[in-house]
Amino acid sequence: MEPSERPERRPKITRRGFLVAGSAAALVAACAPAAAPSPSPTTAAATKAAATAAATTAVSTPGPTLKLGMLLPFTKVYAELGASQKRAAELYLKQAGGKLANRSVQFIFEDEANDPQVGLQKTQKFIEQDQADLMMGIIATPIAYAIRNAVDSAKFIYIGTNAGGNAMTRDTTDCKPTCKSKYVFRTSFSAWQVSQPLGEWLSRTPATKEFFLCFSNYAFGTESAAAFVEGLAKNGGKETGRVAPPLFNSDFVPFVTQIKAQSTKNVYSFFSGTDAIGYIRAWNQLGMPAAGYKMFGAGFLTEQDVLKEVKDQANGAITSLFWSVELDNPENKAFRDLYQKEYNLLPDVFAVQMWDGMKALDEALKKTGGNTKDKDALIAALEGVSFKSPRGDFSFDKATHNVIHDIYIREVKTAGGQTVNTIVDKFGKVTDPGK
Partner 1 sequence: MSLELVVQQALNGISFGALLFILAAGLSLIFGMMDVVNLAHGAFYMLGAYVALQVVQITGQFWIAIVVAPVVLAAVGFVIEPLLLRRLRGRHLDQVLLTIGVGFVIVDLIGLYWGREVRTLPFPPGFDRSIDIGGSAYPTYRLFVIAFAVLLAGTLYWIHRRTAMGALIRAGVDDAQMLSALGVDTDRLFAITFAVGAGLAGLAGVVAAPAFGIQPGMDVDALIFSLIVVVVGGLGTLNGAAAGAALVGPAETFGKVLFPQFALALIFAIMAVILLGRPSGLFGRIRIGR
Residues that bind partner 1 (CB under 8 A): 6, 8-10, 12, 14-16, 18-19, 21-23, 25-27, 29-30, 75-77, 79-80, 83, 217, 243-246, 248-251, 253-255, 257-258, 260-261, 273-274, 277-278, 281-282, 284-287, 291, 305-306, 309-310
| Alpha-carbon span 407 to 224, nearest angstrom | 14
The answer to whether 431 touches 397, Cβ cutoff 8 Å, is yes
Q: Pick between residue 25 and residue 424 the one whose CB is nearest to partner 1.
A: 25
Cβ neighbours around 389 below 10 Å, total: 31
Q: Pick between residue 58 and residue 81 the one whose CB is nearest to partner 1.
A: 81
Q: Which amino acid is at 384?
A: G
At a CB cut-off of 8 Å and minimum separation 6, what does 154 contact?
Answer: 127
How near is the Cβ of 359 to partner 1 at its closest, in Å?
26
How near is the Cβ of 166 to partner 1 at its closest, in Å?
21
Q: What contacts 24+ positions apart, CB below 8 Å, involve 422-427?
A: 422/326, 423/324, 423/326, 423/327, 423/328, 424/318, 425/201, 427/197, 427/200, 427/201
Give me the helix-helix angle, 79-95 and 349-368, nearest 10°.
Answer: 40
How near is the Cβ of 173 to partner 1 at its closest, in Å?
24
Q: Pick between residue 113 and residue 298 the one whose CB is nearest to partner 1.
A: 113
Which of 94, 48, 79 has the alpha carbon at shortest distance from 339? 94
| Alpha-carbon span 391 to 299, nearest angstrom | 13
How near is the Cβ of 253 to partner 1 at its closest, in Å?
5
Q: Pick between residue 49 and residue 79 the one whose CB is nearest to partner 1.
A: 79
How near is the Cβ of 215 to partner 1 at its closest, in Å?
11
| Alpha-carbon span 337 to 3, nearest angstrom | 78
How near is the Cβ of 71 to partner 1 at its closest, in Å?
18
Q: Pick between residue 10 and residue 429 the one whose CB is nearest to partner 1.
A: 10
How near is the Cβ of 248 to partner 1 at its closest, in Å?
7
Q: Pick between residue 129 and residue 344 the one whose CB is nearest to partner 1.
A: 344
Q: Pick between residue 258 and residue 395 the one whose CB is nearest to partner 1.
A: 258
Q: Pick between residue 63 and residue 119 the one whose CB is nearest to partner 1.
A: 119
Q: Pick between residue 57 and residue 285 the one whose CB is nearest to partner 1.
A: 285
Q: Pick between residue 278 and residue 369 the one whose CB is nearest to partner 1.
A: 278
Q: Pick between residue 278 and residue 434 the one whose CB is nearest to partner 1.
A: 278
| Alpha-carbon span 318 to 61, nearest angstrom | 50
How near is the Cβ of 290 to partner 1 at its closest, in Å?
9
How do 392-396 and 386-389 pair as beta strands? antiparallel
How near is the Cβ of 299 to partner 1 at its closest, in Å?
16
The answer to whether 370 touches 103, Cβ cutoff 8 Å, is yes
At 288, phi and psi to the nearest 5?
Answer: -65, -45
How near is the Cβ of 394 to partner 1 at its closest, in Å?
27
How near is the Cβ of 145 to partner 1 at its closest, in Å?
20
